[in-house]
Amino acid sequence: MADNDVIIIGAGLSGLVTAATLTARGTRVTLLDAEPLASLGGQAYWSFGGLFLVDSPEQRRLGVKDSAELAFDDWLGSAQFAPGAERGEGPDRYGYAWARRFVDFAAGEMRPWLHGMGVRWFPLVQWAERGGHLAGGHGNSVPRFHVTWGTGPGILEPFVQAAVDAHRAGLLELRTRHRVTGLVTTDGRVTGVRADVLAPDGAGRGEPSNREVVRQVELGAGAVVVATGGIGANHDLVRASWPASAGHLPDEMLSGVPDSTDGEMLARATEAGAALVHTDRMWHYPEGIAMHTPVWSRHGIRILPGPSSLWLDADGGRLPAPLFPGFNALGALRHLTGRGDSYSWFVLNRQIMETEFALSGSDQNPDLTGKDLRLLAERVLPGAVTSSGRWRASAEAKWRCPAGAFRPETVVILR
Ligand SMILES: Cc1cc2nc3c(=O)[nH]c(=O)nc-3n(C[C@H](O)[C@H](O)[C@H](O)COP(=O)(O)OP(=O)(O)OC[C@H]3O[C@@H](n4cnc5c(N)ncnc54)[C@H](O)[C@@H]3O)c2cc1C
């Protein structure tokens, strides 16, 4: 018999949103996570909090004309679904159906729903992944990247609060240090999970924690949701999954995500009968640099590039159009790995640095994360690079780092 209505594996943003949605309907949920409570919320805490919203008031205020149809066309251009998906056939039938529903959601109830929970957005909508290809190719044809006021923690907050409220109402149990090692099946149906209960650990948010097993448990449930994130910290899996046609990945790579993003649950889900599709499709950034104050192993952070920097391959050759900074991350990466490059060059002068250069992540943008208008004003003023707390907290700190902490080959500032 099921002990729980639903078990959710993973207390990142996906798991927390699922928990909030289910408990709002009165469903009893057990939320399991391998990490200590300090890491509740997973990657989302560290994120920039940029959301895909369509035809929003923020876009309209800027004169951006967007629609669900345009956004769906853009989605199809990026996804390149296999033929038949639109008829509910082939490996991409679920991907297609999900994309259709998500785009309608992003153009409809998503913003009022989040707004009702207190989430707000920075008024300047950013243009991430422009693509710049012909119609039907990859990219967003209009700006759609809505940066949450409060960045990652700002989007996480209402869902952590919803979990606390559901816990108080007796609908949610959170079990940290429960690392799921397998899905239990009965008559071909998933009916529960097996988990290692790990020893307590005082690791801070995002830091690696121990894997010492103190006991094992088996929990039953009416349904099990796997929300364990991606594979980015598991470089062996990344290498094994990287398509041979896209060349060779560098021998040394950074991780934009905590060690907990190990992708192990993909194999566990497959053992229980899940059918994975497109395991060779991943999202990695070529324009990452080593973190000046690392929290997790091989900690890297992405440069959020404006279009004006010169982006060169390892030999100093310009990346071909339209692989300009910020246009097509995966396309640029495949170009570089296809050449066998293990690094590229970002060349910018001080003026570009002041106006365009930023690092991703909540911790690198204390003005937006802390909802600090004074700091935010400094971001747009000339000289912000040298005077603002934002840069004291991020870029300038790098220049003072011990040699080797920052890879000078990645960013070149021309004075
Ligand atoms: C610096 C940075 C900036 C980003 N900026 C953006 C942005 O602007 N916009 C955007 O859309 N996205 C952004 N992202 C990506 C986004 O944050 C993530 O895609 C998203 O938060 C992933 O949520 P998740 O719940 O799927 O996975 P995760 O946050 O990885 O959560 C998965 C959870 O599952 C747990 N877990 C894993 N395996 C097991 C197991 N076997 N048993 C039990 N628990 C397990 C992990 O401990 C973790 O807590 C950014 C990410 C980073 C790091």
For residues 129 and 294, give the distance between their C-alpha atoms in angstroms, rounded to a whole number: 27
Q: Would you state the structure tokens that stand for residue 31, as one six-digit string? A: 């939320």
Question: CA-CA-CA-CA torsion for 332, 338, 341, 347, nearest 10 degrees?
Answer: -20
pLDDT 10s digits, 150-184: 999 999 999 999 999 999 999 999 999 999 999 99
**For ligand 1, is residue 260 a contact (CB within 6 Å)?**
yes
Instruction: Please report how many Cα atoms fall inside a 13 Å half-sphere around the Cα of residue 285, on the Cβ side.
Output: 22
* Binding site membership of 6 for ligand 1 (Cβ less than 6 Å): no
Instruction: Give the C-alpha distances (Å, rounded to integers) separating 376 from 366, 373, 403.
Output: 9, 5, 30
Question: From the CA of 315, how far away is ligand 1's center (Å)?
Answer: 35
Q: Find out whether the beta carbon of 258 lies less than 6 Å from any atom of ligand 1.
A: no
Nearest CA to ligand 1 atom 9: 50
User: Measured between alpha carbons, how far is 309 from 411 in angstroms, rounded to an integer?
Assistant: 10
Nearest-angstrom CA–CA distance, 377 and 81: 43
CA of 16, closest atom in ligand 1: 25
- The single residue listed with the structure tokens 């816990």 is 167
- Kindly state if the Cβ of 43 falls inside 6 Å of ligand 1: yes
Q: What is the pLDDT of residues 57-72, one digit of tens each?
A: 999 999 999 999 999 9
Phi and psi at residue 60, to the nearest 5°? -60, -40
In short, whether 261's Cβ falls inside 6 Å of ligand 1 is yes
Contact between 347 and 411 (Cβ < 8 Å): no
The rounded mean pLDDT for the chain is: 89
58 and 125 Cβ atoms separated by less than 8 Å: yes
| Any ligand 1 atom below 6 A from CB of 257 | yes
Number of the ligand 1 atom closest to the C-alpha atom of 261: 30
* Choice from 13, 32, 47 to test ligand 1 binding pocket (greatest atom count within 8 A of CB): 47
**Helix or strand (DSSP H, E) at 175:** strand 172-175
Cβ of residue 11 lying under 6 Å from some atom of ligand 1: yes
pLDDT in tens, 295-339: 999 999 998 878 888 999 999 999 999 999 889 999 999 999 999
Residue of 1, 14, 8 whose CA lies nearest to 178: 8
Q: What is the pLDDT of residue 135?
A: 79
125-332-302-143 Cα dihedral, nearest 10 degrees? 0
Ligand 1 centre distance from Cα of residue 206 (Å) = 11
pLDDT of amino acid 308: 87
Residue 361 near ligand 1, beta carbon < 6 Å: yes
Contact 165, 184 (CB under 8 A): no
Closest listed residue to residue 18, CA positions, set 224, 260, 206: 224
The dihedral region occupied by 193, where left means phi > 0, alpha psi between -120 and 50, and beta the remainder, is: beta
pLDDT digits (tens, 9 = 90+) for 92-141: 999 999 999 999 999 999 999 999 999 999 999 999 999 987 778 899 99
**Residue 384 above 60 pLDDT?**
no
Structural domains for the chain: 4-47+154-226 (3.50.50.60), 50-146 (no CATH), 285-414 (no CATH)
- Structure-block tokens of residue 335: 């170009």
Asked whether the beta carbons of 214 and 2 are under 8 A apart, the reply is no
